[in-house]
Chain A
Amino acid sequence: MASLFKEQAKLSAYRDRRFSGTQEEFEEALRTSSTVYIGNVSFYTTEEQIYELFSRAGEIKKIIMGLDKNTKTPCGFCFVLFYSREDTEDAVKYISGTILDDRPIRVDFDWGFQEGRQWGRGRSGGQVRDEYRTDYDPDILFSGYGKLVQKELEAQRQLVDYGTGSLGGSYPAPAPSNYERRAGPRGGGGYGQGGSNRHGRGGDFHRKRQRDDDRYGRDNSRRNSDHETRRDTDQDMRPEKNPRFRESGDSDDDGEDDRKRS
């Protein structure tokens, strides 16, 4: 609606190195994507908090927490997939720069989640300065005493461990990454996912190569991701994953041709 102040190049200032297409294709992916990347998240923030906040923009299809490769615990970023592009845009417009768990989070269009991207890509780096950080820095909001109480409360919370439990195996070890040294989950500098203030642990320097996990190795498709990856790995004609509302008589209906991007 308002075109006067929209800076054209502002879709995203970051270019993910894992995206194998051209710059134009990357921008097209951002323009049509219904995935957002959320940064500067507290390590303690749960999926349910993210669900509560982001479902105010629209129905959520999927949440993928960014995880520390070694500890399998959240490390400060995540992806949220919506069903509709409009809701995705609203999430970027209205949630970016607002507070979740006392931190100003940033919300950006993402080109599409692929298996493997949930793993932090390296050792902890500094947090990128958020667009609105200068105005709404938590350090300004919390003065002295409040900040202390805040930390004590935080310390009582538990990090969700995604590595254990009966579902073990649903979170496979990360594929070996060539991006370990890069600062953020999206490559291209500046997206550090962890100030130590968020977890009280030191950064991780695990660099040992892990065995290749075939199941999740084929993620080179630069197209949206979720859909295509599933096509590769699952049997054909499986009912739609994470449906908004699956067709009745499901397995007969594919019902997802339309979801394919053209």
Chain B
Amino acid sequence: MSNWKTLLLRIGEKGPEYGTSSDFKDHIETCFGVIRREIERSGDQVSPYLLQCAEQLPHKIPLYGTLIGLLNLENEDFVRKIVESVQTNFQVALDSGNCNSIRILLRFMTSLLCSKVIQPASLIVVFETLLSSAATTVDEEKGNPSWQAQADFYVICILSSLPWGGAELAEQVPDEIERVLVGIQAYLSIRKHSSSSGLNFFLKGESENSLSEKDFVEDLWDRTQSLASNGWKLDSVPRPHLSFEAQLVAGKFHELRPIKCMEPPSPPSDLSGENIGKQKHDALMRYPQRIRRLNIFPANKTEDVQPIDRFVVEEYLLDVLLYLNGCRKECASYMANLPVPFRYEYLMAETLFSQILLLPQPPFKTLYYTLVIMDLCKALPGAFPAVVAGAVRALFEKISDLDMESRTRLILWFSHHLSNFQFIWPWEEWAYVLDLPKWAPKRVFVQEVLQREVRLSYWDKIKQSIENASALEELLPAKAAPAYKYSLEEGKEKTEEHQLSAELNRKVKEKQSARDMMSWIEETIYPVHGFEVTLTVVIQTLLEIGSKSFTHMVTVLERYGQVFGKLCPDNDKQVMLLSQVSAYWKNNAQMTAVAMDRMMGYRLVSNQAIVRWVFSPENVDQFHVSDQPWEILGNALNKTYNRISDLRKDISNITKNVLVAEKASANARAELEAAESKLSLVEGEPVLGENPGKMKRLKSTVEKTGEAEVSLRESLEAKEALLNRALSETEALLLLLFQSFSAVLKERLPEPTKARSLEDLKPEDENSSAMEVDTENENPKKRSEIGEREQWCLSTLGYLTAFTRQYANEIWPHMEKLKLEVFSGEDVHPLFLQAIFSALQIPLQ
């Protein structure tokens, strides 16, 4: 990398580029000295790279802003072009709804104002345009209040750029900025408080009325007000331009052109609840809330910083996570070395965990945050591991209130994290969970973490890792082989079934074809022994043959899957098949799940059969004591969903290709026509084939491109047909899923009059513990224990909410049908509906 690029990239960092100095002023001067010369030499390259740095390393924006301010003193033209690019990019971002670009570029412009590059009044115009768009959107008559998410986002962008230039704005254009703030206050009074009860990490106690809680915009407004009342002074944003103030005042301002905001879509013509709900959902998908604050540490532990400083640090961290995703070393190093003068380990942990647990889903896979936490533990070995452990303890204490989806992610993260640190954990602290009933959320949590640890490692290793709490061995999964019925051990009785199994085994070894095997089964076993024995022998034997590894199992299914398919052509029989699989792999949750997953992939069992099996009595009884049925249900939904997304992706690709092919074919035709007409115009040449070679070539191109177009269109039609079929399969699946949930819940939930909210399911004296923040002085065991049936209801409702929320996108299009068939009627339990509606963020009447 050339020297000037490295200097731009590494500005503000400790490292070889800037020698021993860690003073921002020195860095800016050094960098400025090199860049001003570089502009002469390769001016065209400097500006895009500089912008790229500012956009992707937003925590250094004040440094880049100051640098540009200095360049402005010498080379107005260069800076004018930069400002123009920023504006163009900003408009493109607005037009395409690119949230991150909009947010960062507005911040960058604010910073350019500090270094006297941008005229303050023209930035105010930008703010006011955004604000007026927001106000129009939430106006019932002129706008479309379902699209409030966009309006909120615009206002958040304004507020969140103020830490970078509030002081300058207040100094230079005090009346105008005041007008903007008044405008924001007015906006706050007309917008609706956004209730996000379905997206909370924790089940809220009644004492915490969700209406009194501030939503993100209201909260940021509070923080901004306190910043304003503090004279716009904050610690988390460096102000390097102050060191150059004397020079910078000589700079010439550049003006910003007016911008245009995206118009929200028009409100649905039919103002039914479904249509509005669907639009709201779409808006939230486009403008998702970046963070939901997770307050897990007691106030005396977290860093004592101004409210706005907390916000800024969160922004820094989220932006590093976003822009340095995939750059492992840089990501960890920037996270650990933010340009702030205070410590922020607790804040960093809360931010990271808030992302892992974020609902409906975080921007990245849990795997990514897992990696970042590992790397930070290694980068800050003295400080961070203890904070992470503290976060785990705090979350563990609240595990019974944690959302089911978040809880599952926590289990996956924690087991994976420990697997990278030799599985060391003070398990003795949690040994007491053995005294709790087997459905106690803490106990189930420990058990599921251990289960995942064993999957990542091996039984003996995990057994060894819990040595200091060896009683917890009881919660380890069984250490046992598959439950094979027909092993030919010495001294064991050999039944006729044993012989059949041995015969089957021999046929596999001889590589008999599936068809031959099927006719043997149909002729020899089925007529004599009946369906159940036949199924047991076949499943047991084939699974045993494939038991050695994942690949062995896949090979068996690949070769003999048809045998299962033939034996179990309908859902009823497939449910029996699944029970057999579960019986064979009863000691191995992972293989049970994997086998069922593959069988569904081969369509040996349908997704509906899996739902029915999951809701069969043997599993329903496990809903609150084990994650296994939920894992299998989740896999089946996930696979169904992935298939739809695959098809959608294919269709969008083919559609693009069709357009290209259309163009190519039209071009070829036009070229041919042009050639034909051209020839006819040639005078004195009676023969048309002046250049028969060329004509032939053109004709063949027309033919070829035409064929290509037709064949693409055909494959597009084929894919669309597949998608339609997949969507109707999904509808049937969703109906069955919600009906199944509704039925099991109805059987077990208390009378609607006795249980109107989830709180009614919890032990009575627990209301007092809703306020417990400081658990140190309290004995955790003292809390009253929840009854088995109540916990079953809470777990099942929790998963109902989790699945509904996860697949909300796929559920909305089928809402009418679902309402008609499952969500209405007198015998539908209100808590069942509440679980679904909160997940879809539909307000309950």
A residues near B, CB below 8 A? Answer: 1-6, 44, 46-49, 51-53, 56-57, 59, 62-65, 83-84, 89-90, 93-95, 97-102, 135-136, 141-142, 146, 149, 153, 156-157, 160-162, 165-170, 241-248, 250, 253, 255, 257-258
Q: How many B residues touch A, CB cutoff 8 Å? A: 69
Contact A93 B601 (CB under 8 A): no
How many Å lie between the Cα of A237 and that of B53 in the bound state?
52
How many Å lie between the Cα of A255 and that of B719 in the bound state?
9
Choose one: B368, B412, B715; the contact of A258 (CB below 8 Å).
Answer: B715
How many Å lie between the Cα of A19 and that of B725 in the bound state?
40
- Residues in B with CB closer than 8 Å to A149 are 464
- Report which residue of B9, B508, B642, B725 has the largest number of chain A beta carbons within 10 angstroms of its beta carbon: B642
Shortest C-beta distance, B476 to chain A (Å), equals 15
The binding surface of chain A is classed by DSSP as: loop
B residues near A, CB below 8 A? Answer: 9, 52-53, 56-57, 322-328, 330, 365-368, 370-371, 374, 378, 412, 416, 419-420, 422, 452, 455-458, 460-461, 464, 505, 508-509, 511, 545-546, 548-552, 554-556, 558, 590-591, 594, 600-603, 638-640, 642-643, 646, 650, 654, 715, 719, 722, 725, 729
Known A-B contacts A1-B322, A48-B590; A57 and B643 likewise in contact (beta carbons under 8 Å): no
Contact A245 B643 (CB under 8 A): yes
Other than the known A49-B456, A56-B366, A94-B365, what 19 A-B pairs have Cβ atoms closer than 8 Å? A1-B322, A1-B325, A4-B9, A4-B57, A46-B549, A48-B591, A52-B452, A52-B455, A59-B642, A63-B551, A84-B646, A94-B367, A146-B422, A166-B505, A167-B508, A167-B509, A167-B546, A169-B511, A245-B643
Q: Identify 16 residue pairs between A and B in the complex whose beta-carbon atoms are under 8 Å apart, listed by A's number.
A: A48-B549, A48-B591, A49-B458, A59-B638, A59-B639, A62-B551, A63-B551, A90-B367, A93-B325, A99-B420, A102-B422, A162-B548, A166-B508, A245-B640, A245-B643, A258-B715
- Report which residue of A53, A142, A245, A253 has the largest number of chain B beta carbons within 10 angstroms of its beta carbon: A245
> Taking CB as reference atom, which chain B residue is nearest A59?
B642
- Residues in B with CB closer than 8 Å to A94 are 365, 367-368, 370-371
How many Å lie between the Cα of A45 and that of B658 in the bound state?
46
How many Å lie between the Cα of A115 and that of B39 in the bound state?
54
- Residues in B with CB closer than 8 Å to A100 are 419, 456
- Report which residue of B53, B638, B639, B640 has the largest number of chain A beta carbons within 10 angstroms of its beta carbon: B639
Q: Which 6 A-B pairs have the closest CB atoms?
A: A245-B643, A5-B327, A52-B455, A47-B550, A94-B367, A99-B420
Choose one: B546, B590, B725; the contact of A248 (CB below 8 Å).
Answer: B725
Known A-B contacts A97-B328, A157-B458, A244-B639; A65 and B551 likewise in contact (beta carbons under 8 Å): yes
How many Å lie between the Cα of A1 and that of B52 in the bound state?
11
Known A-B contacts A102-B422, A257-B715; A90 and B458 likewise in contact (beta carbons under 8 Å): no
How many Å lie between the Cα of A237 and that of B513 in the bound state?
17
How many Å lie between the Cα of A52 and that of B456 in the bound state?
6
How many Å lie between the Cα of A153 and that of B460 in the bound state?
7
How many Å lie between the Cα of A3 and that of B330 in the bound state?
12
Choose one: A5, A53, A101; the contact of B330 (CB below 8 Å).
Answer: A5
Choose one: B9, B371, B602, B650; the contact of A98 (CB below 8 Å).
Answer: B371
- Report which residue of B464, B558, B601 has the largest number of chain A beta carbons within 10 angstroms of its beta carbon: B601
Shortest C-beta distance, A221 to chain B (Å), equals 21
Contact B420 A98 (CB under 8 A): yes
Shortest C-beta distance, A204 to chain B (Å), equals 21
Contact B456 A53 (CB under 8 A): yes
> Taking CB as reference atom, which chain B residue is nearest A247?
B722
Contact B52 A3 (CB under 8 A): yes
> Taking CB as reference atom, which chain B residue is nearest A254?
B718
- Residues in A with CB closer than 8 Å to B554 are 62, 242
Tally of A-B Cβ pairs under 8 angstroms: 163
Shortest C-beta distance, A1 to chain B (Å), equals 6
Contact A244 B323 (CB under 8 A): no
Choose one: A156, A170, A258; the contact of B650 (CB below 8 Å).
Answer: A258
Shortest C-beta distance, A260 to chain B (Å), equals 11
> Taking CB as reference atom, which chain B residue is nearest A166?
B545
Contact A90 B368 (CB under 8 A): yes
- Residues in A with CB closer than 8 Å to B511 are 169
Known A-B contacts A136-B378, A166-B545, A258-B719; A142 and B368 likewise in contact (beta carbons under 8 Å): no
Shortest C-beta distance, A104 to chain B (Å), equals 9
How many Å lie between the Cα of A26 and that of B457 in the bound state?
35
How many Å lie between the Cα of A248 and that of B602 in the bound state?
9
How many Å lie between the Cα of A62 and that of B640 in the bound state?
19
How many Å lie between the Cα of A147 and that of B390 in the bound state?
28
> Taking CB as reference atom, which chain B residue is nearest A262?
B657
> Taking CB as reference atom, which chain B residue is nearest A99?
B420
Contact A1 B601 (CB under 8 A): no
- Residues in A with CB closer than 8 Å to B722 are 247, 253, 255
- Residues in B with CB closer than 8 Å to A53 are 416, 456
How many Å lie between the Cα of A46 and that of B454 in the bound state?
12
How many Å lie between the Cα of A99 and that of B419 in the bound state?
7
- Report which residue of B326, B464, B546, B654 has the largest number of chain A beta carbons within 10 angstroms of its beta carbon: B326
Contact A3 B56 (CB under 8 A): yes
Choose one: A44, A52, A135, A244; the contact of B590 (CB below 8 Å).
Answer: A52
Contact B422 A83 (CB under 8 A): no
Shortest C-beta distance, B574 to chain A (Å), equals 13
Known A-B contacts A53-B456, A83-B646; A167 and B602 likewise in contact (beta carbons under 8 Å): no
Contact B509 A245 (CB under 8 A): no
Contact B642 A245 (CB under 8 A): yes
Contact B452 A2 (CB under 8 A): no
> Taking CB as reference atom, which chain A residue is nearest B505?
A166
Shortest C-beta distance, A191 to chain B (Å), equals 21
Shortest C-beta distance, A219 to chain B (Å), equals 18
Contact B9 A245 (CB under 8 A): no
Known A-B contacts A3-B56, A59-B639, A59-B642; A141 and B422 likewise in contact (beta carbons under 8 Å): yes
Shortest C-beta distance, B411 to chain A (Å), equals 12
Shortest C-beta distance, A107 to chain B (Å), equals 12
Contact B368 A93 (CB under 8 A): yes
